């Protein structure tokens, strides 16, 4: 897919950092002392009642076995020991009443504990709970990690409208190969219009203020910082607790909080991938700090807007932001009905999760020449120990879907493609093994969703059990049932207007053309390139079959338009092998 890039404005100035937002350090603990954490900066949440998550530990207070400072760092230690009728101890440090902030950058440089059953977190809670109990007043999770999924870092927000009890929480993830052996910087930059969650200054997730009230944005009040290591719990203990790993420590090199001021002027640049355009309102050369800007995605006929990537994110076709930094954004447009985002990797690996390495499997993924390449150094002992996923698939019970993709490998090997649940118990809805060769080949998996509807399923490629490198491209997922008889054509069928049906097996499009006029048919591939332009009509016929089989098309998803003198329709189809 061709990536169209347009710079709205660009100013060349030699002064370093002229576009950077000014940061002022307003609170910090560098841990250059020994003993208990500084009581002028840290307090404790104490107790063992489960903390609303069925946690197993007892959080202690002023106990160096669980929280101490030395050698330039803070240590929070989870221990296997009987204490206050609990079998584990740990600490939960808070800055409440000693450090409370509204907006700014909060960053923590930390190294995480390891082991099944551990649940370390760096997060924020409201100080006054102005909008009510959890989740109404909000929660900001800068970093969470669960021991049974050791390399995945989660960044999440919870509000009344968006929270895990409704399965509507807003989050992003990143995989790190060494979070337990190396310090990483976990940060959130919190503005009036958004939050940017970062790991080592790479943006993992952006949560935008929808300007629809506290139910979606309670983040206009002060919050305080929480550092803790939980044991067990509804999430952390979902696969049990390994008692052999204790004691385990989260070590913190520093905590720093900055306020923002000044900065600018700033630039905005936008890009588009697929059939569509991006508009910036107002469009001007420079933007001052605090300027409100709308970025609008406008798809062409036969395509739909799938989401923004860059340092803004979200699925709304109009995103409003308040300028506080340089903005770079790309809008993705896909054929109508396409469920995979960025399946041709024209936007790098955007919308895909980082390559997952689990329990000894290890590979590295990157986009090279428009393909996703997986270089594998440790094959693991199970196929799922190296996996490449995209979440956000809505699979409706009783509907039939087709997953298709191009793949090849440096030597013959197998690959498993699956669709499954994103969270415990990771139910598999469909799975198929494919034998890859060194020749690029199109593969398909067609299945019927027999389980209950899942609004957030994932496509998963399992790449373990072989060290042969794998290459993926042109990944597509469509609902076949919505292709055979397009629901959007219902009115035309009733009134006798131009409409169509599609037969997947015979690769035929059947157009009903009551006026018996010449019909112009245009077919596009996923890159938006025109494949077929033809006049398809037979004198005197009310219907006309367009047989796509005679065009020798590569299996995959295609968009089309069909027009007669006074009518035009758009559609999308899946062409199989």
Q: Known catalytic residues?
A: 139, 144
Closest C-alpha among 392, 244, 417 to residue 332: 392
Among 27, 212, 32, residue whose Cα is nearest residue 106: 27
479 DSSP β-pair partners: 401
The span from the CA of 463 to the CA of 390, in Å, is: 15
How many C-beta atoms surround the C-beta of residue 284 within 10 A? 12
Nearest to 193 by CA among 290, 127, 316: 290
Cα–Cα distances in Å, from 441 out to 184, 541, 572?
40, 38, 22
Distance CA 244, CA 231 (A): 13
Structure token digits, residue 250: 């989260």
Query: Beta strands 86-90 and 57-59: pairing type?
Result: parallel
Instruction: Decide if 474 contacts 344 (C-beta within 8 A).
Output: yes
Torsion of CA 421, 425, 426, 428, to 10 degrees: -90
CA distances for 159 relative to 146, 240, 423, 508, angstroms: 22, 28, 20, 48
Q: Are 204 and 198 in contact (CB under 8 A)?
A: yes
Rounded-to-10 torsion of CA 78, 82, 84, 87 = 60
Tokens 């590569």, residue located: 554
Q: Are 118 and 229 in contact (CB under 8 A)?
A: yes
Beta strand ranges found along 499-563 (DSSP E): 499-503, 508-512, 520-524, 530-535, 543-547, 556-563
């Amino acid at each position: 897919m061709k990536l169209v890039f347009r710079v709205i404005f660009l100013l060349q100035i030699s002064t370093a950092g002229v576009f950077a937002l000014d940061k002022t350090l307003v609170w910090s603990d560098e841990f250059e002392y020994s003993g208990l954490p500084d009581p002028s900066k840290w307090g404790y949440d104490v107790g063992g009642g489960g903390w609303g998550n069925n946690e197993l530990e007892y959080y202690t207070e002023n106990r160096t076995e669980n929280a101490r400072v030395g050698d330039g760092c803070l240590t929070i230690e989870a221990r296997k020991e009987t204490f206050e009728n609990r079998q584990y101890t740990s600490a939960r440090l808070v800055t409440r009443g000693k450090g409370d902030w509204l907006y700014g950058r909060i960053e923590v440089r930390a190294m995480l504990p390891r082991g099944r059953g551990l649940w370390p977190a760096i997060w924020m809670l409201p100080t006054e709970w102005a909008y009510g109990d959890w989740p109404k007043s909000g929660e900001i999770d800068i970093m969470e990690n669960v021991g049974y999924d050791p390399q995945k870092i989660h960044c999440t927000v919870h509000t009344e409208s968006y929270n895990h009890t409704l399965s509507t929480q807003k989050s992003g993830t990143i995989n790190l190969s060494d979070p337990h052996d190396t310090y990483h910087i976990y940060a959130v930059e919190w503005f009036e219009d958004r939050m940017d969650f970062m790991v080592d200054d790479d943006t993992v997730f952006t949560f935008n203020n929808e300007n629809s009230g506290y139910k979606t944005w309670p983040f206009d009040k002060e919050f305080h910082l929480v550092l803790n290591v939980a044991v067990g719990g509804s999430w952390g203990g979902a696969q049990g607790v390994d008692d052999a790993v204790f004691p385990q420590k989260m070590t913190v090199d520093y905590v720093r909080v900055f306020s923002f001021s000044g900065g600018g002027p700033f630039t905005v640049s936008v890009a588009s991938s697929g059939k569509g355009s991006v508009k910036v309102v107002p469009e001007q050369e420079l933007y001052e700090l605090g300027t409100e800007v709308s970025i609008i995605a406008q798809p062409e006929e036969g395509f739909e807007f799938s989401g923004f990537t860059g340092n803004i994110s979200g699925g709304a076709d109009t995103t409003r932001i308040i300028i506080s930094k340089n903005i770079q954004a790309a809008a993705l447009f896909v054929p109508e009905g396409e469920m995979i985002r960025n399946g041709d990797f024209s936007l790098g690996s955007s919308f895909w999760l980082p390559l997952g390495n689990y329990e000894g499997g290890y590979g590295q993924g990157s986009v090279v020449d428009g393909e996703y390449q997986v270089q594998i150094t440790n094959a693991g002992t199970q196929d799922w120990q190296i996996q490449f996923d995209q979440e956000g698939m809505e699979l409706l019970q009783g509907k039939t879907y087709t997953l298709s993709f191009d793949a090849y490998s440096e030597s013959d090997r197998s690959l498993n493609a699956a669709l499954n649940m994103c969270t415990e118990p990771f139910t598999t809805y469909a799975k198929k093994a494919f034998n890859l060769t060194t020749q690029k080949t199109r593969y398909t998996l067609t299945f019927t969703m027999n389980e209950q509807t899942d609004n957030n399923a994932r496509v998963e490629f399992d790449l373990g059990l072989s060290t042969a490198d794998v290459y993926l491209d042109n990944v597509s997922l469509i609902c076949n049932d919505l292709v055979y008889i397009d629901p959007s054509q219902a009115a035309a069928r009733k009134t006798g207007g131009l409409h169509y049906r599609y037969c997947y097996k015979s690769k035929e499009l059947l157009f009903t053309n009551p006026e018996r006029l010449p019909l112009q048919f245009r077919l596009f591939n996923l890159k938006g390139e025109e494949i077929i332009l033809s006049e398809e009509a037979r004198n005197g016929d009310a219907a006309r079959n367009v047989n796509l089989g005679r065009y020798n098309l590569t299996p995959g998803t295609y968009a089309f338009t069909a027009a007669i003198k006074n009518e035009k329709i758009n559609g999308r189809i899946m062409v199989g092998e």
